[in-house]
């Protein structure tokens, strides 16, 4: 790709809510890419992810896929886990304060973040860092120095704080510190480019400002919109149950995509695929003109999402299961196997295989008569299951063949 093509690929789907800023960041990005090409020095690119829940979902992959693009272009990518900023809590998108996480909750959520992210990022080219390694070492003098670069008016001008104050909703003083801490991440990492969600633009620009204060060149900021959840209304969130996890069962991922509204499907097409800007534009144009049927596009999208995390073979199998069961109303001939060692409680099985997001959801499935084994209802949440080749069905569309796990000595 030439430089312009690289810029277009990176900026595809970006959103700043400010035309002038968007134009400036595009120009700046192009300049940095040209400079890197001439000097042969890779750009340092990073995005931060607070450990607020143990699972990474499709919403996180918007920026992860952009990081992967930078990797494929030969740049140095840093995957930052915000195990210190998580203790403060980012309220950039909140109409109220966010309950603070305990250190134990953050550590538990952080454990699998890198492992999940490396489903998208190149493991051999990714630097994984934890911001507690430097933020926890800041002293009061450091905090005062950071704070001196900002005014209270700058924070109060932010829409979410302004609305909360007008509605007599408390704004905690610690909330102001979040932007300073995220900003210092950029300083510590000597970042050339920082990417994140549009809601984080203030925090990312704070990093740019702090870098200048510390004698560094301010990073180029690129932001992308929040992904709408499967309900088509709220932002994607595990707590709202409207998410698609990247480690989720392939059949579950496929059927969730197929249930999206047509408008939500277009939103996904723009943001969470590996498709080129040209293909995305062709699909959107085809839908508008009526040359493409939404159901056909949805199948392409479902296949793409499952394939990106589980491979083409699993995606093809999920597609067959959907077509056989959902469209022909039959139990599919080909079903994914799930290996079980010994016995397992039905609720644990539903969670482990991705048919339920939590144990409480698993219990609701069972008590709501939504779980069957070989066609017979599972009546009790205490039911124990073995890998004896039985057919597990959850709801109308999710199937697994339970097989015995081979344990080698």
CATH of the domain at 327: 1.10.240.10
Query: Of 301, 333, 365, at which residue does a domain stop?
Result: 333
Residues 59-94: tens digit of each pLDDT: 999 999 999 999 999 999 999 999 999 888 776 655
**Based on the domain organization, do 370 and 393 belong to the same domain?**
yes
**329 & 252 share domain:** yes
179 lies in which domain range?
3-224
pLDDT per residue as tens digits for the range 234-279: 888 877 788 898 888 899 999 899 988 889 999 999 999 999 889 9
Grouping H, G, I as helix, E, B as strand and the rest as coil, residue 405 is coil
d(CA 273, CA 26): 22
Provide the number of structural domains found in the chain.
Answer: 3
Residues 60 and 167 both lie in one domain: yes
- What six digits make up the tokens of 232? 């088509």
**Same domain? 185 vs 318:** no
**Dist CA 68 CA 71 (whole Å):** 5
> Percent of the chain scored above 70 by pLDDT?
93
- Percent of all residues in the chain with a pLDDT value above 90, rounded to a whole number: 54
DSSP assignments along 279-318, one per residue: HHHHHHHHHHHTSS-HHHHHHHHHHHHHHHHH-HHHHHHH
Angle separating helix axes 58-72 and 3-11, nearest 10 degrees: 170
Confidence class for position 327, pLDDT limits 50, 70, 90 = low
Q: Are residues 188 and 148 in the same domain?
A: yes
Which pLDDT score, from 0 to 100, does residue 387 have? Answer: 73
Model confidence band, residue 98 (pLDDT cutoffs 50, 70, 90): low
Residue 323 and residue 385 in one domain: no
Summarize pLDDT for 144-162 with one digit per residue, the tens.
Answer: 999 999 998 888 887 777 7
Q: Residues 253, 195: one domain?
A: no
Asked whether residue 37 is assigned to any structural domain, the reply reads yes
- Is 243 among the domain residues? no
Lowest mean pLDDT: which of 33-47, 126-140, 167-181?
167-181
Length of the chain: 409
Does 123 share its domain with 211? yes
pLDDT of residue 331: 63
pLDDT over 50 at 408, yes or no: no
Which tokens hold the place of 398? 């999710």
- Classify residue 117 by its DSSP letter: H
pLDDT at 115: 86
**Average pLDDT of span 358-367:** 90
């Amino acid at each position: 790709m030439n430089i312009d093509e690289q810029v277009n690929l990176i900026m595809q789907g970006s959103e700043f809510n400010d035309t002038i800023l968007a134009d400036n960041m595009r120009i700046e990005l192009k300049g940095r890419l040209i400079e890197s090409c001439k000097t042969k020095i890779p750009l340092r690119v990073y995005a931060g992810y607070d450990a607020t829940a143990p699972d990474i979902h499709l919403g996180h992959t918007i920026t992860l896929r952009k990081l992967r693009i930078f990797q494929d272009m030969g740049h140095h990518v840093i995957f930052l886990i915000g195990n210190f900023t998580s203790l403060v809590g980012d309220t950039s998108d909140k109409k109220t304060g966010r309950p603070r996480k305990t250190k134990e909750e953050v550590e538990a959520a952080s454990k699998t973040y890198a492992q999940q992210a490396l489903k998208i990022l190149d493991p051999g080219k990714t630097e994984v860092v934890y911001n507690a390694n430097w933020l926890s070492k800041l002293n009061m003098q450091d905090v005062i120095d950071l704070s001196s670069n900002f005014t209270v008016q700058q924070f109060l001008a932010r829409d979410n704080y302004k609305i909360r104050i007008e509605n007599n909703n408390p704004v905690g003083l610690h909330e102001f510190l979040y932007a300073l801490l995220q900003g210092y991440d950029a300083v510590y990492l000597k970042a050339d480019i920082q990417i994140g969600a549009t809601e984080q633009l203030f925090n990312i620009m704070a990093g740019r400002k702090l870098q200048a204060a510390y004698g560094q060149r301010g990073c180029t900021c690129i932001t992308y919109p929040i992904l709408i959840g499967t309900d088509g209304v709220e932002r994607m969130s595990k707590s709202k149950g409207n998410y698609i996890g990247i480690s989720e069962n392939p059949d579950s991922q496929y059927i969730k995509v197929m249930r999206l509204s047509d408008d939500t499907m277009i939103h996904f097409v723009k943001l969470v695929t590996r498709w080129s800007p040209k293909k995305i534009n062709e699909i959107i144009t085809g839908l508008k003109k009526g040359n493409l049927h939404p159901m056909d596009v949805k199948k392409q999208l479902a296949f793409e999402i499952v394939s990106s995390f589980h491979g083409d073979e699993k995606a093809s199998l999920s597609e067959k299961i959907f077509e056989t069961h959902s469209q022909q109303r039959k139990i599919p001939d080909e079903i994914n196997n799930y290996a079980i060692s010994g016995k397992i409680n039905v609720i644990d099985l539903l969670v482990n295989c991705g048919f339920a997001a939590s144990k409480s959801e698993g219990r609701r499935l069972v008590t709501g008569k939504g779980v069957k084994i070989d066609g017979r209802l599972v009546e009790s949440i205490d039911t124990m299951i073995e890998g004896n080749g039985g057919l597990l069905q959850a709801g109308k569309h999710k199937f697994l063949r339970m097989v015995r796990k081979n344990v080698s000595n």
